[in-house]
Structures are given as C-alpha cells and as structure tokens.
Amino acid sequence: MKTLVTGGTGFIGSAVVRRLLARGREVRCLVEPGAPRGNLDGLDVELVPGDILDAAAVARATAGCDAVYHLAAIYSLWLPDERLIYDVNVEGTKNVLFAALRAGVRRVVHTSSIAAIGVAPDGGLLDEQAPYEYWNQANAYMRSKYLSDLDARRLAGEGLPVVIVCPAFPFGERDIGPTPTGKFIVEALQGRVPGYTEGGFCAVDVDDVAECHVLAEEQGRIGERYIAGSHNVTYREFFEEVTRIAGLPPIRRRLPSPAVVGMAWAMERWAELRGGSPRITVRAARYALRRAWFDCTKAHRELGMPQTPLDVTIDKAVRWFRDHGHGRPGRGGAAAAPVAAPAAAR
C-alpha cells in the first residue's frame, strides 16, 4: 500500500517524503500543476498532478493509499485577495480529510501549526491544551490554520484516524521559497536586517519536524495534537547565532516597537497603491513583538521527536541558502531595510 503526501514539493513536505522513503515506504505525491518539483528530484516517488481544491482529483490520489500526510497549504504573510488562503488552507483541507475518511485509510497525519494554538498573553509557554485566544490579532494565514485544525479535530470525533502535528518555525535545507520563516536568515545574509524586535519565537529543525510527522503516524494518539518545536529564543538571540555562524557583523540595534508597527503600516499602504507584497504587515509586526513560545514536551516525551541543536540547524540553513544564490558568500554590509517578521510557522 502507498502513502499519499500532499505538499510534498514544499519545505516540510519534501523532508517528510525523505523520512518515509528512508523507512522503505512507497510514496505518492499529489502535486499542484506548475509547482516546482526540484525538492523531489532523484527521489523514487509517484507524482500525481492535481489541486487540493479539486475534490475528485484528491479522491483519485487517495485511492489505494493506506496513509495520508496532508501538508499542502499557502504559507504567506499577505495576498491581495486573502480568500485564496482560506480556500486552499481550509476548503482544500476538508477535501483531503473527507477523501481519507471515505477511503477508509489507516491513518492521517494533518499538518497544522503553532498558529492554530495562538500566543500566550503574558509571554509564557502554551501547550496543546491551551484555549485559542488570538483570533482578533491573527492574520489570514493564522486564522486559516486554526479553522483547518478545528476541522481535523472534529473529524477525529467522527471516526477519522487523524493525528495532528503543529510545527513551530522550521529552518534547514530545501527552503526553496524561501518561506517567511526562511527569510529571517536570507534577509540577514543579504545585510537587510536593521535590528531585532523585542519578541521571540520557537525554532525547530525541518528534519526534526519531518520525523515528528512519521512518529505521529506510528505512535501518535488519534485526535491528539503534537507541537513540533525545540528552541524558544528571542529575536536577538536568533540573529546573534545567524550572524556568528555566517561570519557577518552582529545585529545590535533593538527596534522600538512603535517604529516597527508604523513601518509595517506604511508598507501595507505602499503595496495597496503600487501593487506587490509588503515586506512586513501590521499583524505580522505585532506578532513579532510578542514572545510566541511553546511547551514542546509532549512530542518529545510521547513520540521521541529528536531535538537538533539550534546552531547545527542554522548552519545547515545558511549553507543551503548560500549554495543556492541567497545572500553574500562573504561578510555582509550595513543593514538597510526593514526587519523580517513572521506570519506564523507552518
């Protein structure tokens, strides 16, 4: 029997595909027509063209599979029409989950996000049981991941054997986008981070996230969520590690919070007038001013999720980005552009 992976060409998805192949699994990937397939080059996988918004195509891809890993999603800070984010991340997820339910698959692993858990108001640690209290501050991506997370948990109650993985901010190799998370490192390599915000986030190696997915299929409890994270760091600590490992001048300036929000507001207005995407949005800026930290004990204790040291992960990411044309190979110059800020990790 085969294992279906949606989003297998992506950053986390391609890492999951590699983990499955390493276990001797037969893998089928539902691939959006026109999507870059470089992350799957040289891998022994079956590629099936199809869009997750096409319920019939999803059903055909699911046929004959005994496990489904659903990772396909739009991970973006901002789109001119945010309905596309909800269509793909919410309605597309329903197509995949209902196809798996009808096909009677043995197990589904749904990729949710820490975005579906929220942010502690006091900067403390949230775990999988925390009530969601971030809707009013969330952007479209975060809301869409919360809604699709609710659908997965609801269907677990209706008989779908689904386990849910909530990745933190992943870093590592094959971030071809790069993702909003990977842009933290890319912006630093290009000397475009003028300072850090007062907030923090939970970082994790993408290969550890992938292993957590497979462990969730093998050992996870149906209907349960597992936060796939490792290192709660401040932005200052993170950029200190990036610049040290990359051999770049340190980023020493702490950006005033009102200035960060004001800068984001101006970029949104500019994007509305001139087109294109703002490099930071107001909601993302406000998120970057919070400490989005999480208690990741459950995934490590119950599943045995590995925990790669942060400096090893950053080194892998820096090398991959430089090898693929992102950033300067030598020492960077003066920072000159706005700070990178996240939507939330996918």
Token pair, residue 244, equals: 């040290």
- Flag residues of the chain having pLDDT under 50: 329-346
Please tell me the distance from the alpha carbon of residue 319 to that of residue 309, in angstroms, as a whole number: 16
Active-site positions read: 145
- pTM score of the predicted model: 0.91
Phi and psi (nearest 5°) for 66? -105, -5
Q: What pLDDT digit, counting tens, does each position of 129-145 carry?
A: 999 999 998 899 999 99
Q: What does the alpha-carbon distance between residue 251 and residue 255 come to, in Å, rounded to a whole number?
A: 11
* Helix ranges (DSSP H) in 92-251: 92-103, 140-157, 182-189, 206-219, 235-246
Contact 109, 67 (CB under 8 A): yes
Task: Quick: pLDDT tens for 227-240.
Answer: 999 999 999 999 99
Q: In order of start, what are the domains of the chain with their CATH numbers?
A: 2-171+203-229 (3.40.50.720)
Instruction: Specify burial of residue 116 (Cβ count, 10 A radius: 0-12, 13-18, 19+).
Output: buried
Q: Do 128 and 166 form a contact (C-beta atoms < 8 A)?
A: yes
pLDDT tens-place string over residues 304-324: 999 999 999 999 999 999 999
